């Protein structure tokens, strides 16, 4: 059990939470929520530090006690992955520390004694080590990696895919406690659905930081909320937490208003009667009552984001028309015969597996990729805004939000620009801070602010919620609902898709078609599709094996036919000549046959001895401490017989090869 008892923590001299008291029991799955900067990642750091793991932060526990079982193993998904020439599959396998260490030793057996080797293989078998590479491959497949990427070095992957590798490595751990910090940030919807299933099957304890409401609802049963330097544990998923907290805040607001009324009454009494001797004692009593009153905070508007999209200046229909288009690269189409019309009323969500062609379609819609065939037409009034990771990364690193806004704002006053930036929670010093110092969430908000200012009539958004916290996601959802133009959206945030999109289109198997159903139906479709793909892969494997067997059979028949033909074409010998030739061959091969016969007899004895040893080693009591010497003796004998078996088989193989040279 994880237990915090009146714990206070500060970072860089600032108190993040104080008097924190909560308990998390084994097997519980807990979502850690709270505004950015309230200390969620710091709490992870405190736990890791307590468990002896290295962290980059200098954390100070000022007060209180922490209790975590000493035998627990912890796995933590870090937010950065260093470059490495290590193959991706090996990097993932290294997440299972014990397996990786055992495997490294097994690859260098010369430095170990026979007893150490026996113990090594026994432990490897105990942890089901032979299946571990298969598990790693399954995790990588679930997170979107293709088999041909397994041997690529980590350096070959982009930052987002390195984060997926890091997540895969974390999931490989045999952890009792799993700490996941924003695991869905770089995942598409398919990978998120797979991760939900994986977490549901995980037996250990999970602490999870995520801004994806639907993901939290599907994976956790408790919420640990950080607010006003306090940690509060709620029972239920995220949706239940929102309802419970709203009720608590409403009660807190009522208590605050009641307290303020009482406080005002007491203060008025003291002010009026303190100077009167007859009332002085009563006034003093009221002062003491005021001092004893606990401070209750008023319920402030939780969300600091208040922006909305402006009305587009011009609008016509259709704004974009894609008709019978083949779309792809280097004359190789990824999508065929795709047709899509974007009007001012369009609200489209694009669905599809990783690599199916969603991003390719988007690039065609925004004019970055010319169709190979078909037509692409846009309206003269088109004012398109395209949000993706590249736009965030291409922000002027040295420029501040104010400078960037000034570049596109014309004669707008500084006061108006500051007010506008404030609606995206850029206030005070952050307005004049260079963007190179911003977090991913701040860069995403700034990119959205620049887009909003330009009054687009078409929004094409490719994973806009990456790096955004729950409050900003809610604000973006509200703003998109009020947007007067068209929206084309790719997102792993199912809440956003459900609340913004009127139509869903599926990109699959080289085609674009309307999807009948909602986002939850897509999850069901995806599950069925994976089963279908697995069956097809199994069928292809069976067909390939059957084809290979047929080819081998045909080759053997061809060989025999060729031998028969060659034999038929040989000069025919007389009966006497054949008898003499056979006698000469028997004489020449007699020593070889004798060696084979002797080796066979010895091999039979060795095999029988090994079978007898296997029966003895199957006795479970043999592995008790009192019979350790007997076990080691039997293991040494087994290793010796296995060595003899290998030598005898090699002798027989060489003798049989030699014999074939003398026989037709």
Reply yes or no on whether the pLDDT at 295 is more than 60. Answer: no
Confidence of residue 450 (pLDDT cuts 50, 70, 90): very high
**Tokens representing residue 393 in the block:** 């990364």
For residue range 595-607, list pLDDT tens digits in order: 888 888 888 888 8
Reply yes or no on whether the pLDDT at 495 is more than 70. Answer: yes
Whether residue 307 contacts residue 481, with contact meaning beta carbons closer than 8 Å, is answered with no
Reply yes or no on whether the pLDDT at 301 is more than 50. Answer: no
Average pLDDT over the chain, rounded to whole? 83
Share of the chain above pLDDT 70, in %: 86
pLDDT value for 291: 66
Which of the residue ranges 365-379, 404-418, 535-549, 641-655 would you say has the lowest mean pLDDT? Answer: 535-549
Share of the chain above pLDDT 90, in %: 29
Reply yes or no on whether the pLDDT at 657 is more than 80. Answer: no
pLDDT value for 299: 45
pTM > 0.75? no
Q: Which of 438, 428, 432, 430 is nearest to 397 (CA)?
A: 438
Taking residues 466-474, what's their average pLDDT?
84
Confidence of residue 276 (pLDDT cuts 50, 70, 90): low
For residue range 559-595, list pLDDT tens digits in order: 777 777 766 666 666 667 667 766 776 777 777 878 8
Reply yes or no on whether the pLDDT at 337 is more than 70. Answer: yes
Q: Check the CA dihedral 595-596-601-603 and report its sign.
A: positive
CA torsion, ordered 556, 557, 561, 567, to nearest 10 deg: 40
Q: Which of 58, 91, 225, 239 is nearest to 171 (CA)?
A: 91
Reply yes or no on whether the pLDDT at 171 is more than 80. Answer: yes
Taking residues 33-56, what's their average pLDDT?
79
Q: Which of 174, 179, 150, 168 is nearest to 96 (CA)?
A: 174
Whether residue 459 contacts residue 480, with contact meaning beta carbons closer than 8 Å, is answered with yes
Residue 397, phi then psi, degrees to nearest 5: -65, -30
Reply yes or no on whether the pLDDT at 467 is more than 50. Answer: yes
Q: Which of 249, 196, 166 is nearest to 31 (CA)?
A: 196
**Tokens representing residue 9 in the block:** 């923590």
Bigger pLDDT: 57 vs 401: 401
Bigger pLDDT: 458 vs 254: 458
**Alpha carbon distance 418, 402 (integer Å):** 8
CA-CA distances (angstroms) from residue 103 to 124, 130, 138, 152? 8, 10, 19, 20
Parallel, antiparallel or unpaired: strands 60-67 and 29-33: unpaired
pLDDT value for 663: 58
Taking residues 451-462, what's their average pLDDT?
94
Element (H, E) at 636: helix 628-660
For residue range 183-213, list pLDDT tens digits in order: 988 888 888 999 999 999 999 999 999 888 8
Q: What angle do CA 315, 318, 322 make, to 5 degrees?
A: 140
pLDDT value for 57: 60
**Alpha carbon distance 178, 47 (integer Å):** 11
Element (H, E) at 452: helix 440-453
Instruction: Dump the DSSP string for 163-208.
Output: HHHHHHHHHTS--SEEEEESTTTT--HHHHHHHHHHHHH--SEEEE
Reply yes or no on whether the pLDDT at 309 is more than 50. Answer: yes
For residue range 68-103, list pLDDT tens digits in order: 888 888 998 876 677 778 899 999 998 988 888 888
How far is the first Cα of the chain from the last one, in angstroms, to the nearest whole number? Answer: 76
Reply yes or no on whether the pLDDT at 402 is more than 70. Answer: yes
Parallel, antiparallel or unpaired: strands 384-387 and 332-342: unpaired
Q: Which of 514, 490, 459 is nearest to 342 (CA)?
A: 459
Would you give the DSSP letter of residue 472? H
Q: Is 75 helix (H, G, I), strand (E, B) or coil?
A: strand
Q: Which of 517, 526, 482, 477 is nearest to 497 (CA)?
A: 477
Q: Which of 450, 582, 625 is nearest to 442 (CA)?
A: 450
**Alpha carbon distance 339, 86 (integer Å):** 43
Which of the residue ranges 215-224, 332-341, 389-398, 610-619 would you say has the lowest mean pLDDT? Answer: 610-619
Reply yes or no on whether the pLDDT at 339 is more than 70. Answer: yes
For residue range 517-565, list pLDDT tens digits in order: 888 888 888 888 877 876 776 677 677 767 777 877 787 777 777 777 7
Which of the residue ranges 328-342, 430-444, 623-637 would you say has the lowest mean pLDDT? Answer: 623-637
């Amino acid at each position: 059990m994880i237990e915090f008892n009146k714990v206070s923590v500060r970072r860089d001299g600032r108190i993040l939470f104080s008097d924190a008291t909560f308990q998390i029991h084994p097997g519980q799955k807990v979502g850690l929520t709270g505004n950015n900067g309230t200390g969620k990642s710091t709490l992870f750091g405190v736990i890791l530090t307590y468990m002896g793991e290295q962290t980059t932060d200098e954390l100070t526990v000022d007060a209180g006690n922490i209790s975590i079982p000493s035998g627990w193993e912890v796995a933590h998904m870090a937010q950065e992955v260093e470059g490495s020439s290590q193959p991706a599959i090996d990097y993932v396998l290294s997440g299972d520390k014990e397996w990786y260490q055992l495997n490294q030793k097994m690859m260098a057996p010369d430095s170990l004694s026979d007893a150490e080797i026996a113990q090594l293989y026994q432990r490897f078998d105990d942890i089901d080590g032979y299946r571990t590479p298969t598990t790693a491959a399954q995790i990588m497949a679930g997170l979107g990696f293709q088999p041909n990427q397994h041997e690529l070095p980590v350096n070959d992957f982009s930052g987002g895919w390195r984060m997926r590798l890091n997540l895969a490595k974390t999931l490989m751990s045999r952890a009792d406690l799993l700490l996941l910090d924003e695991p869905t940030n770089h995942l598409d919807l398919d990978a998120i659905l797979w991760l939900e299933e994986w977490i549901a099957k995980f037996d250990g304890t999970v602490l999870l930081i995520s801004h994806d409401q639907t993901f939290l609802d599907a994976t956790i049963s408790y919420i640990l909320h950080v607010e006003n330097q306090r940690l509060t544990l709620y029972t239920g998923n995220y949706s239940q937490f929102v309802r419970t907290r709203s009720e608590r805040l409403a009660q807190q607001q009522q208590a605050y208003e009641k307290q303020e009324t009482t406080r005002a009454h007491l203060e008025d009494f003291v002010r009026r009667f303190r100077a009167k001797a007859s009332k002085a004692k009563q006034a003093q009593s009221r002062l003491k009552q005021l001092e004893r009153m606990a401070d209750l905070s008023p319920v402030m508007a939780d969300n600091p984001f208040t922006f909305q999209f402006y009305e587009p200046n011009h609008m016509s229909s259709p704004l974009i028309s894609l008709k019978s288009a083949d779309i792809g690269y280097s004359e190789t189409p990824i999508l065929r015969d795709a047709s899509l019309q974007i009007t001012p009323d369009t609200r489209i969500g694009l669905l599809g597996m990783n690599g199916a062609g969603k991003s390719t379609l988007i690039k065609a819609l925004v004019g970055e990729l010319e169709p190979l065939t078909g037509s692409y037409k846009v309206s003269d009034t088109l004012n398109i805004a395209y949000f993706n990771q590249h736009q965030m990364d291409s922000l002027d690193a040295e420029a501040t939000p104010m400078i960037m806004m000034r570049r596109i704002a014309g004669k707008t006053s500084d006061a108006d620009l500051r007010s506008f930036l404030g609606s995206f929670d850029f206030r005070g010093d952050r307005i004049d801070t260079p963007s190179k110092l911003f977090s991913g969430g701040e860069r995403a908000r700034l990119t959205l602010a620049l887009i909003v200012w330009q009054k687009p009539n078409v929004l094409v958004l490719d994973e806009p919620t990456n790096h955004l916290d729950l409050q900003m996601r809610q604000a973006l959802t509200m703003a998109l609902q009020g947007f007067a133009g068209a929206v084309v959206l790719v997102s792993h945030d199912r809440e956003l898709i459900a609340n913004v999109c009127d139509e869903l289109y599926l990109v699959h198997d080289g085609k674009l078609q309307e999807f009948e159903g909602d986002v939850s139906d897509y999850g069901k479709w995806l599950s069925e599709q994976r089963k279908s793909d697995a069956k097809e892969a199994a069928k292809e494997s069976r067909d390939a094996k059957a084809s290979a067997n047929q080819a081998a059979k045909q080759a053997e028949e061809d060989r025999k036919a060729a031998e028969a033909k060659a034999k038929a074409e040989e000069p025919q010998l007389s009966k006497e000549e054949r008898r003499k030739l056979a006698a000469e061959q028997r004489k020449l091969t007699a020593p070889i046959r004798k060696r084979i016969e002797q080796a066979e007899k010895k091999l039979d004895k060795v095999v029988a001895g090994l079978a007898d040893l296997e029966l003895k080693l199957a006795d479970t009591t043999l592995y008790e401490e009192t019979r350790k010497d007997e076990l080691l003796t039997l293991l040494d004998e087994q290793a010796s017989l296995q060595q003899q078996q290998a030598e005898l088989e090699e002798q027989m193989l060489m003798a049989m090869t030699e014999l074939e040279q003398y026989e037709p």
